[in-house]
Amino acid sequence: MITFKSYLAEKAGAALKKKAEKSGMPLGILRQVYNRGVAAWRTGHRPGTTPQQWGLARVNSFVTKSSGTWGKADKDLAAKVRG
């Protein structure tokens, strides 16, 4: 039997794979950004959001090279993408 938590993890994994293909960024780095977003959700979040939504929003911000993630919070991962 599949649990709701594993279902969400499966959907997030598929979404990350698509974002990696479209952006050309390594899947492993996007997974790290996602995991950081989920961890950040635990320290404070907008009411009604899920950890998965928070993680994917952070990935979206990173992929679009937004200054909040690309230039600050995930600067170390951005450097790895640049090479």
Specify if 59 maps to a domain: yes
pLDDT at 12: 84
Look at residues 57, 73, 72, 71 and name the one whose alpha carbon lies nearest to residue 19: 57
Number of folded domains that form the chain = 1
Distance CA 51, CA 2 (A): 19
**Cβ atoms of 79 and 71 closer than 8 Å:** no
Specify if 18 maps to a domain: no
Residue type, 68: G
The residue whose two tokens read 């969400």 is 8
pLDDT score of 70 more than 60: yes
pLDDT score of 4 more than 60: no
9-61 pLDDT per residue, tens? 668 889 999 999 999 999 999 999 999 999 999 998 889 889 999 999 999 99
pLDDT at 18: 94
Residue 41 belongs to what domain range?
27-82
pLDDT at 11: 81
Specify if 13 maps to a domain: no
Distance CA 38, CA 44 (A): 10
pLDDT at 83: 78
Specify if 52 maps to a domain: yes
Specify if 8 maps to a domain: no
